[in-house]
Amino acid sequence: MHTEERRRLLLARLRKAKQPLTGTKLARELEVSRQIIVGDISILRAQGAQIFATPRGYILPESGEGAAMLATLVCRHDAAGMEPELQAIVDNGGAVLDVIVEHPVYGAIRGDLLLESRRDIRRFLTKMKKCQANPLLVVTGGIHMHTVRIPDEETLAAIRDDLRNLGILVEDEVKHSGVK
């Protein structure tokens, strides 16, 4: 199989997936190494594919008719505010796709999260603690952004209200109404 054909099949497989797919699973299906899949994902991203790498695997956001909306929420808090912030988003029906900070030298630094439930949040926070990892917000004094997938404007309003009540929301804006 040629490289371009493999990448086309990889993208098609990700489009069909309802759950994240691991690099190992994709490698087995396409009969290549996991490292080849990692490289293909990087190239597909460079070509504009919005592929999220999560602890559970790779996934594309939903697209097409009935697709969710994406919003960018600008927040500020310390490390202790992470759990209530993330819970406010998922408890109101949103999914946290990523976290973005603006580094003074490197520019935007993005980490894929894809947190859709309290269970996902517990796993994420447990892994952070186990790895003794600092959250990206330490780079910017607590200011960071999340891309959030929401089903409708009502959900966004509920998330914004909860984040405001927590004293976390700095500003927000809906980026676009259809995920591409």
What are the residue ranges of CATH 3.30.1340.20 in the chain? Answer: 69-176
Q: Would you state the pLDDT for residue 180? A: 37
**What's the pLDDT band for 51 if we cut at 50, 70, 90?**
confident
Nearest to 50 by CA among 116, 114, 128: 114
The pLDDT value recorded for residue 49 is: 83
The residues, ordered by sequence, that sit 6+ positions from 65 with a Cβ below 8 Å of its Cβ are none
Q: Is 93 left (phi over 0), alpha (psi -120 to 50) or beta?
A: left
Confidence category of residue 68, pLDDT binned at 50, 70, 90:
low
Evaluate whether 169 touches 163 at the Cβ level (below 8 Å). yes
Q: Which pLDDT tens digit goes with each residue over 115-155?
A: 999 999 999 999 999 999 999 998 899 999 998 989 888 99
Query: If DSSP codes are grouped into helix, strand and coil, which group holds residue 21?
Result: strand
Highest mean pLDDT range out of 64-73, 83-92, 97-106? Answer: 83-92
Where, residue-wise, is CATH 1.10.10.10 in the chain? 3-59
- Of how many residues is the chain composed? 180
Residue range 38-63: average pLDDT? 81
User: Which pLDDT score, from 0 to 100, does residue 63 have?
Assistant: 52
Q: In this prediction, what percent of the chain has a pLDDT beyond 70?
A: 91
CATH superfamily name and code, 69-176: 3H domain (3.30.1340.20)
Backbone angles phi, psi at 112, to 5 degrees: -70, 140
Query: What pLDDT, on a 0 to 100 scale, did the predictor assign at position 50?
Result: 81
Q: Exposed/middle/buried for 72, CB within 10 Å: 0-12, 13-18, 19+?
A: middle
Is the CATH code 3.40.50.2300 the one for domain 3-59? no
